[in-house]
């Protein structure tokens, strides 16, 4: 296989060269005298990425799934009622985890393509006078469908009702990529993973925890050990960890956090929006294809693309991979065979996404889609040009 492999799945994302360089290193002692001096500012700076002032961020050697578990087991008790909604693969798995851990999720099933049903949430929470519901869960970005939900609106519902439930956000494919305001939106538990907006290999589960959640965790009673907050707090406060941390990834994280903060989170979000626009323009230009997400839920990190009738999305992905060395995301569960995904989060630029659109276009054509060759590409570059022009006028 020649040339670079092209990666456009919604995580893992492309690793910036400075991050890759930083991870090319010999091992080190995670108990070295100066290691704490490296860890403490890193954990502090992570708070700026999560946008929390009064909370803290934990970094677990785990996937994002592990951080989900950490969030539940440290702050809830078996049998607690939890308000959740299900509209894609990851929101579904989250519900499943809640059940496994002995919580009682109250689940709202929503059509795939839409997001958290804020009005329904309001109705249920309003009816919960006795505050039996201990947590409200929001999948900010459903990676399966490319749907972004309105976290802030859910906070407003809770505030309006004076409901004390904790607000959990699955931000695995949104944090460090699209607008997320942990403090301002009153998010209590915010789950992220290293291999998305943080532009690192997989291996770290990141978890933002609000002051309120930290307090709750002191009394919460689910069995836990590996993901115990109190161990982390005690050691992190000295700059160390309760067990061997993934130092290589932490060294990479230092550089990726530097890149994010130097750019500024608002600029990161704007960039992702700009890049996503080109992909969406291309999809709209492909005759017979469609964006799975409803217009009010469009995600800036991943676009799920329904293929034309008669085309097998699995074949599209396979063709892109085998012939064009390009990884596209698979349609998951009910979208298997019917949709594929283009991940457009992480370290990207217009030319990379033109490649992504080109690969998808070639693969669609090869598998029988009757789209016009070049139609998506033309739409994408037109979008990028217009957007740049608009930017420049604005500036």
Are the beta carbons of 75 and 216 closer than 8 angstroms?
yes
Give, in order, the Cα–Cα distances in Å from 282 to each of 312, 360, 365, 381, 382: 19, 10, 14, 9, 10
Distance (Å, rounded) from C-alpha 366 to C-alpha 2?
20
CA 329 to CA 322: how far, in whole Å?
14
When the beta carbons of 78 and 184 are compared against its own copies, the nearer one is 78
CB of 74 to its own copies, least distance (A): 12
Query: Residue 324: CB partners within 8 Å, gap ≥ 6?
Result: 6, 359, 362, 363
Question: In this complex, which beta carbon is closest to its own copies, that of residue 113 or of residue 278?
Answer: 278
3-state SS assignment for residue 83:
strand
Q: How far is the CB of 289 from its own copies (least distance, A)?
A: 16
> Nearest distance from residue 271's CB to its own copies, in Å?
6
Work out whether strand 6-8 and strand 326-330 pair parallel, antiparallel, or are unpaired: parallel
- Kindly tell me which of 5 and 160 has the beta carbon lying closer to its own copies: 5
Tell me the C-alpha distance between 54 and 291, whole Å: 38
Handedness of CA 327, 332, 338, 341 (dihedral sign): negative
Between the CA of residue 316 and those of 8, 112, 295, 340, 366, what are the distances in Å? 14, 21, 24, 8, 8
The least distance separating its own copies from the CB of residue 62, rounded to whole angstroms, comes to 5
Nearest-approach distance from CB 263 to its own copies, in angstroms: 8
Tell me how many degrees the CA angle 244-249-251 measures, rounded to the nearest 5: 100
The neighbouring-strand residues paired with 343 are 302
Q: Whose Cβ is closer to its own copies: residue 239's or residue 242's?
A: 242
Q: How far is the CB of 7 from its own copies (least distance, A)?
A: 6
CB 179 within 8 A of CB 158: no
Nearest residue (CB) to its own copies, 23 versus 190: 23
Q: Which CB sits closer to its own copies, 28 or 128?
A: 28
What's the min distance (Å) between Cβ of 154 and its own copies? 24
Closer CB to its own copies, residue 48 or residue 63?
63
Smallest distance, Å, CB 365 to its own copies? 6
Measured between alpha carbons, how far is 339 from 88 in angstroms, rounded to an integer?
13
The alpha carbons of the chain give a radius of gyration, in whole angstroms, of 21
Least distance to its own copies, CB of residue 209, Å: 17
Output the furthest CA–CA distance in the chain (Å, rounded): 63
Q: Which residues contact 297 (CB under 8 A, 6 or more apart)?
A: 113, 114, 115, 147, 148, 149
Query: Which H or E run includes 305?
Result: strand 302-306
**Shortest spacing between CB 173 and its own copies, in angstroms:** 11
């Amino acid at each position: 296989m020649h040339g670079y492999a092209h990666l456009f799945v919604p995580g893992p994302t492309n690793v910036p060269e400075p991050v890759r360089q930083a991870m090319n290193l010999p091992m080190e002692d995670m108990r070295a005298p100066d290691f704490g001096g490296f860890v403490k500012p890193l954990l502090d700076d992570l708070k700026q990425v999560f946008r929390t002032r009064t909370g803290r961020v934990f970094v677990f050697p785990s996937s994002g799934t592990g951080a989900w578990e950490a969030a539940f087991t440290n702050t809830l008790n078996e049998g607690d009622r939890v308000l959740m909604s299900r509209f894609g693969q990851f929101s579904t798995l989250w519900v499943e985890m809640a059940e496994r851990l002995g919580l009682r999720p109250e689940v709202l099933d929503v059509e795939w393509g839409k997001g958290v049903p804020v009005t329904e949430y309001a109705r249920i929470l309003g009816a919960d006078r006795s505050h039996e519901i201990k947590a409200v869960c929001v999948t900010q970005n459903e990676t399966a469908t490319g749907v972004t939900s309105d976290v802030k609106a859910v906070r407003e519902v809770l505030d309006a009702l004076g409901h004390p439930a904790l607000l959990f956000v699955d931000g695995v494919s949104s944090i460090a990529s699209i607008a997320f305001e942990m403090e301002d939106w009153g998010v209590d538990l915010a789950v992220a993973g290293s291999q998305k907006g943080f532009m690192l290999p997989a291996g770290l589960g990141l978890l933002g925890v609000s002051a309120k959640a930290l307090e709750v965790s002191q009394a919460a009673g689910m069995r836990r050990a590996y993901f115990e907050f109190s161990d982390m707090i005690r050691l992190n406060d000295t700059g160390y960890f309760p067990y061997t941390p993934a130092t290589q990834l932490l060294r990479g994280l230092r550089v990726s956090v530097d890149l994010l903060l130097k750019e500024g989170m608002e600029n990161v979000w704007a960039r992702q929006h700009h890049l996503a626009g080109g992909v969406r323009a291309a999809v709209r230009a492909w005759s017979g294809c469609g964006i799975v997400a409803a217009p009010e839920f469009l995600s800036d990190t991943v676009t799920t693309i329904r293929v034309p009738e008669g085309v097998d999305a699995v074949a599209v992905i396979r063709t892109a991979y085998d012939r064009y060395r390009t990884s596209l995301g698979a349609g998951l569960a009910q979208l298997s065979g019917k949709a594929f995904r283009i991940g457009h989060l992480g370290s990207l630029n217009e030319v990379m996404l033109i490649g992504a659109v080109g690969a998808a276009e070639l693969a669609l054509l090869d598998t029988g889609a009757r789209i016009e060759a070049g139609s998506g590409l033309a739409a994408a570059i037109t979008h990028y040009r217009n957007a740049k022009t608009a930017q420049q006028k604005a500036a």
